[in-house]
Amino acid sequence: MHRYKKLGWNTFIIGLGSMGSKFMIFLLVPFYTFYLSPAEYGQADVIMMTVSILIPIVTLSIADGVFRYTMEKASKKQVFSSGCAILLIAGLVLLLLTPLLKNIPLIQNYYWLFLLLLLVQLWNTLFQQQVRADGKLILYSVSGLLMSLLLLIANVVFLKYLDLGVAGYLYANLLAFGFNTVLLFLGAKLYRLFSFRAINKKLLKKMLIYSLPLIPNAVLWWVMQVSDRYILTFFLGVAANGLYTVAAKIPSLLSMLNTVFFQAWSITAIGDKIKSNDGFFAGVFTIFSSLFFITTGIILLIVQPMSSVLFSSAFQNVWQFVPFLLIAVTLSSFSSFLEVSYMAEKKTKQLVLTTLKGGVINISLSFLLIPFIGIIGASIATLVGFLVTWLLRMKQTHFFKQIEFKSLFWLSFLLLFLQSVYVSVCDLPNWWIQGMFALGLLVCQGLVIRKKLAIRRATQLAE
């Protein structure tokens, strides 16, 4: 049971900081919808999403290599210094390309803010991975909380009092990420790990062999998460993207849970070299999936009244786009759970293939559905893309056979899917019908928990 305790402790410590910080960011959504129009919010979101996708491309995903090889007990100084070398080169290349990049229509009005955000987040990603690999989880969590608090204050100043619009949104993020980067660098004393002499070409080559396949994986994962926003902007305009962006904020509650767990799970799985055929792997997935099934069911019950409370009148109807996105995030989280086994066994090339197929389907469906059924077409395309990716990873890792309590798992998934279809197509969902779905889900998950506890008691008695 010590592995469950270790995982639980890591999740708790990371969750203290990450859940608090991410929930605070979620609470900013009503603020954004009040002070930014749908068009402004859509433009700001596209810029931030562009920064996010460029990070793995520009850095060759070296931060993932730093995390993996630090966990493998290689020389911390050599690993970190080699990673920093890539970032220094990346920063120089970005500066040299400035005359070309600043003419891109999407970012030209905010180019220097965009460039600073990108440079700051490159280093922030590397420092976060190093701190997490070093096991300094309290610093990791506290820095996240402080960053979110600063983000809140900065948004109030720049949007409410200075009325800077999109630029204010970007200024607030730049200030918060810059603060977090400096805090991690000084708090973890990362300056002690860097030396030009410690840069090891042989080690760097190994790290790049591991991290390079993660570039297309990160890009394709991003494609499935946000490419539909670009397609929405192309067909329906930035205002439609603003509505969709706000709708996606409700499923981000689930993404928060997944982010916290993934960070803790990757430390445990990679550190202990756990494989997908390990009984512990299946046992953790049972707990993980139960948490997601129950949380998704609760959000589906309250999504309509939640939207009316949280969002301004211009965004009141976005709740109809949420149900399919909730299922998509659940499937994305299940895929991320299996991703750790690829990372632990350094099978990053196989990982890319699953994401590629899901990404192609997602983009194809987005182009096919959005012109005809509008914003909800983006939700459906995202769901199908993540479903394909998850099923492919289940097949590659032979995890279909490993799932515990298979009948209850698949019945729970079916109930959630049917409930999401019902809520999406109804202008005013009936509470009795919603209650029937919820009751069925609770019965299924109650039986799962009961059986899981029975197995635990039997194990303890055997010991």
Q: Could you give the angle at the alpha carbon of 24 between the alpha carbons of 21 and 30, nearest 5°?
A: 155
Residues 6+ apart with CB under 8 A from 1: 459, 460
Residue 221 contacts residue 205 (beta carbons within 8 Å): no
Residue 133 confidence (pLDDT): 87
Count of beta carbons in the 10 Å neighbourhood of residue 369: 20
pTM listed for this prediction: 0.77
Residues 6+ apart with CB under 8 A from 187: 136, 139, 143
Domain boundaries, the chain: 1-199, 213-462
Find the Cα–Cα–Cα–Cα dihedral 46, 142, 135, 61, rounded to 10°: 10
**H, E, C per residue of 45-91:** HHHHHHHHHHHHHHHCCHHHHHHHHHHCCCCHHHHHHHHHHHHHHHH
Residue 274 in tokens = 């756990």
Residue 429 in tokens = 């969902």
* pLDDT tens over the chain, length 463 residues: 567 777 777 777 777 766 666 667 767 877 887 888 877 887 888 788 888 888 988 998 899 889 888 887 667 899 999 999 999 999 999 888 888 778 777 777 888 889 999 999 999 999 999 998 888 888 988 898 898 889 989 999 999 889 888 899 999 999 999 999 999 999 999 999 998 889 888 989 888 888 887 777 777 767 666 677 778 877 887 777 777 877 777 787 788 788 788 878 888 777 767 666 667 788 888 888 998 999 999 888 888 777 777 776 667 677 788 888 899 989 988 988 888 887 777 777 788 788 888 888 988 998 999 888 888 888 899 899 899 999 999 988 888 788 888 889 999 999 999 988 888 877 777 778 888 888 989 999 889 888 888 777 776 666 5
Determine phi and psi for 214, rounding to 5 degrees.
Answer: -75, -15
Residues 6+ apart with CB under 8 A from 218: 53, 55, 56, 57, 61
- State how far the Cα of 412 lies from the Cα of 414, in Å rounded to an integer: 5
Residues 6+ apart with CB under 8 A from 450: none
Residue 22 contacts residue 249 (beta carbons within 8 Å): no
Residue 380 contacts residue 372 (beta carbons within 8 Å): no
Residue 293 confidence (pLDDT): 92
Q: Could you give the angle at the alpha carbon of 22 between the alpha carbons of 148 and 355, nearest 5°?
A: 125
Residue 401 DSSP SS3: coil
Chain centroid offset of residue 163 CA: 30
- State how far the Cα of 279 lies from the Cα of 273, in Å rounded to an integer: 13
- State how far the Cα of 281 lies from the Cα of 240, in Å rounded to an integer: 41
Residue 65 contacts residue 211 (beta carbons within 8 Å): yes
Residue 248 in tokens = 């996606």
What is the length of the chain?
Answer: 463
What single DSSP character describes residue 399? -
Residue 219 confidence (pLDDT): 73
Residue 370 contacts residue 234 (beta carbons within 8 Å): no
Question: C-alpha distances in angstroms, 333 versus 45, 119, 151, 248, 423?
Answer: 22, 28, 26, 15, 22
Residue 106 in tokens = 């999407």
